[in-house]
Amino acid sequence: MQVLGGSAPTFGRSAGGVAGSRLGFARSAFIGIGLITATINVLYLTGSIYMLEVYDRVIPSRSVPTLVGLSLLALALYAFQGVLDILRGRILVRIGSGLDGALAGRVHDALARLPLRTRQAGDGLQPLRDLDQVRSFLSGMGPAAFFDLPWIPLYLAICFMFHTWIGIAAVVGALVLVGLTLLAELKTREPARETVALGQRRNALAEATRRNAEVLQALGMRSRFGAIWGEANDRYMASQQRTSDAAGGLGAASKVVRMALQSAVLGVGAYLVIRQEATAGVIIASSILTARALAPVELAIANWKGFVAARQSWKRLRDLLSAIPPDDGRMSLPPPAASIAVEGVSVAPPGVQRLVVSDVSFTLQAGQGLGIIGPSASGKSSLARAIVSVWPPVRGKIRLDGAALDQWSSDDLGRHVGYLPQDVELFAGTVAENIARFDPDAKSADVIAAATAAGVHDMILRLPDGYETQVGEDGGMLSAGQRQRVGLARALYRDPFLIVLDEPNSNLDGDGEQALTQAILGVRARGGIPIVIAHRPSALAGVDRMLVLAEGRMQAFGPKEEILARLMRQPQKPAAAEGGAATPLRVVTDGQVRA
C-alpha cells in the first residue's frame, strides 16, 4: 500500500484505532506478496533461458533427450509460476475485501454523520464510492505491476551480461517508458480530480430527479430538469473522456515503444551474431528478456488511471475518517430522569457561519411540557436539532440531568430521546421495524405499547398486513398522515425521557390531533419531558410551558397561559426577552406568533 501514500496499518491508525487493528493483517499479506513476486520474477527467466539453451546447445548437438528434458523442466516451472500468479491474485482480492471489512462500518458511520457537520457536495455517497475504488484497485493487476517494478534492474543486468549493446538498448527503452509513466501522472491527476467533482454534481441532480418525480411531472419541469442534468452529464463525460484519452494514448505509446524496442534488440542481436560477438540463442533470449523487463512499466501505465483514482480516493477517505473519529469509548451514564437544561445555546447550520439561534436558555423538570412557537425561519427547528444532538451548539451546553449531550455516545443518548422531525421519512421495511427503530432485539409488546401511546394501533391493524406491512422506500406506501403517526410511535418507542416533536400535526386530521395530545399528556404523566414545535395551537394543548422565538432569539418563556395572556394583552409592545433583544410580537388567527 505504499503506492497509495502509506501502509494499510498506518492508514488505519489515522482513520481510527479500530480500523488500524483490523488492518494489521495487511502488513504480513503484503510481505507475502513481495516474496511471491520475487519467486515469480525469477521464474520469468524460464523462457529466456530455455530459448538460449535450445539455440546454443540442443540445435548444435541435435540431442533429442536434452530437448525433452529442458522442455519438461520449463513446463514444470511454467506451471509453478501459474500457481503463484493465481495465489498472488487471490491474496490481493482478499486484501481488498479485508480493507472493505475493516473500514465499511466506519465509512457508513461517517456517511451518516457528515451531513450533521458540513454541507455536502453531490449526493453524499462519495465516501462509499471511494472505498469501492480503493478496493477495486487493490483487487486488480495494478498492485502486481508495482510489485514487479523493483525487478527491472535484474533483467537489465542480465541483458548487459549478454552484451553491452543489448543492455544499453534495454536501458534506453526503460527510460523512455519511465518518462511516459511520469507523463501519465501529470496528464491524469487533475482530470481525474475534476471527473470526481463533476460526477458528484451529476449524481446529485439524478437523485434530486428521483426524489422530486411527482413535482417534475405535475409542473411540467421534467424536460427542463432533464436538460440541466444532461448538461452536467455532458461535462462529466467530457472530463472522463479527457482522462481516458490521456491514459489510453500514453498506454498505446508505451505498447509501441515496447514492441519497437523488442525488434531493436533483435536487430542488435543479429548484428552481434554477424560480427560473431554473440550466439543465435542470445538474439531470442535477449528479446524475450527485454520484453519481460519493460512489461511492468507498460502494465503500470495501463493501470495508471485506476491508480490515480484510488490514490485520490484513499486521501479523501483518510481525511474524512480522521475528521470524524469513532463515536465510542465513552462511559455509559445513568438514564436521565429529572431535567433538561439549555444553557446559553447558539446554533448554526453545518458549514454555515451565521447563527440561526442565539443565546437561548431555559430549564424543564420531569413532567413538564414545552411548546415552542414563532414565525417561520425564527430558528425553532434548528433549536430542536440542537436539543436532540443532531447539530452541536456553536456555544453553550444542553444538559440532561446535569450531563452535557456530548458526554453521551450517539447510541446511548438515542435510547433516551424520541424525535419526530418536520419532514418525516421512514425506512424501507415493515411498520413494526420502523417503530422499533430497527432494533433486532425489539419485543412485540414494546412496539405495540409505542403504537398505542401514539394512538396509531388501530390504524396499523387496518393496514393490509398490520404491523408487518411494508412501508416502501421513504415510507412511500403510506400517506403523509400515516407516516407522521408512525413516526410519532417511533419517537415514543420504549418510553424515552425526552421527546422532541417538530410540527407533529402538520398532516394530521382531528382524530390524529386528539391522539397527539393524549400522547403528549402520557409522556408528562410518566415523568418524561415533551417539547413540541408548532404553528397550529392544537398541538400545544398538552404542554404547560411556552417559549417564543423570533429572529433566532428567545422573546418569552414561562407558563403557557401566562405567555399567551401577555401576548393577547400587549400585541404591539415588545415582550421581555431572556438572553436577547426584545422584538414586537402579535398573535394572528392561526395561533402563530409573528414578529
Q: Give yes or no: residues 141 and 206 share one domain.
A: yes
What's the grid cell of residue 44? 520469468
What's the grid cell of residue 342? 439549555
Strands 395-400 and 403-404: antiparallel
Q: In 367-473, which residue ranges form alpha helices assigned H by DSSP? A: 380-387, 410-414, 431-435, 444-453, 457-461
Q: Give yes or no: residues 98 and 238 share one domain.
A: yes
What torsion do the CA atoms of 278, 282, 287, 292 make, to the nearest 10 degrees? -130
- Residue 420 main-chain phi, psi, to 5 deg: -120, 100
Instruction: Name residue 358's beta-bridge partners.
Output: 553
Specify the pTM. Answer: 0.69
Q: Give yes or no: residues 304 and 221 share one domain.
A: yes
In a domain, 586, yes or no: no
Read off the amino acid at residue 414.
G
Q: Give yes or no: residues 273 and 389 share one domain.
A: no
Residue 121: its pLDDT value, please? Answer: 59
What's the grid cell of residue 207? 437523485
In a domain, 75, yes or no: yes
Query: What CATH number did the domain enclosing 245 receive?
Result: 1.20.1560.10
Assess contact for 381 and 422: CB atoms under 8 A.
Answer: yes
Instruction: Name residue 549's beta-bridge partners.
Output: 554
Assess contact for 524 and 514: CB atoms under 8 A.
Answer: no
Q: Give yes or no: residues 88 and 118 share one domain.
A: yes
Assess contact for 198 and 232: CB atoms under 8 A.
Answer: yes
CA 143/CA 408 separation, integer angstroms: 42
Q: Give yes or no: residues 355 and 291 share one domain.
A: no
Q: Give yes or no: residues 118 and 263 share one domain.
A: yes
Assess contact for 547 and 519: CB atoms under 8 A.
Answer: no
In a domain, 3, yes or no: no
CA 94/CA 391 separation, integer angstroms: 39
What torsion do the CA atoms of 449, 454, 458, 461 make, to the nearest 10 degrees? -70
Cα dist from 311 to 12, 187, 543, whole Å = 15, 15, 55
CA 490/CA 447 separation, integer angstroms: 8
- Which residues span the domain enclosing 560? 339-569
Q: Give yes or no: residues 549 and 441 share one domain.
A: yes
Query: What CATH number did the domain enclosing 557 receive?
Result: 3.40.50.300
Q: Classify residue 280 by burial, with Cβ atoms within 10 Å: 0-12, 13-18, 19+.
A: middle
CA 111/CA 130 separation, integer angstroms: 12
In a domain, 400, yes or no: yes
Taking only Cα atoms into account, the Rg of the chain, rounded to an integer number of angstroms, comes to 35
Cα 428 off chain centre by: 20
Residue 436: its pLDDT value, please? Answer: 94
Assess contact for 475 and 431: CB atoms under 8 A.
Answer: no
Q: Give yes or no: residues 67 and 206 share one domain.
A: yes
What's the grid cell of residue 386? 440542537
The label of the residue with cell 439561534 reads 357
Residue 120: its pLDDT value, please? Answer: 63
Q: Give yes or no: residues 303 and 370 share one domain.
A: no
Q: In 212-303, which residue ranges form alpha helices assigned H by DSSP? A: 213-218, 222-274, 280-302
Residue 113: its pLDDT value, please? Answer: 79
Residue 25: its pLDDT value, please? Answer: 60
In a domain, 511, yes or no: yes
pLDDT averages per 10-residue partition of the chain, 595 residues = 41 42 64 88 85 84 88 92 90 85 83 74 74 86 82 84 84 81 76 80 80 74 82 86 77 76 80 80 79 77 79 87 76 90 93 90 96 91 93 93 90 91 89 93 94 93 94 84 92 95 87 89 95 85 93 93 79 42 40 40
Please give the order of strands across the beta sheet that includes 498-502.
403-404, 395-400, 339-347, 357-365, 553-559, 545-550, 370-373, 529-533, 498-502, 417-420
Q: Give yes or no: residues 220 and 81 share one domain.
A: yes
What's the grid cell of residue 208? 434530486
Residue 578: its pLDDT value, please? Answer: 37
Q: Give yes or no: residues 529 and 421 share one domain.
A: yes
Assess contact for 117 and 153: CB atoms under 8 A.
Answer: no
Split into its structural domains, the chain has a count of 2
Residue 532: its pLDDT value, please? Answer: 95
Query: Rounded to 5, what percent of the chain is helix, strand, coil?
Result: 65, 10, 25
In a domain, 328, yes or no: no
CA 241/CA 558 separation, integer angstroms: 64
CA pseudo-torsion sign 534, 538, 540, 546: positive
Nearest to 252 by CA among 309, 192, 191, 183: 183
In a domain, 9, yes or no: no
In a domain, 488, yes or no: yes
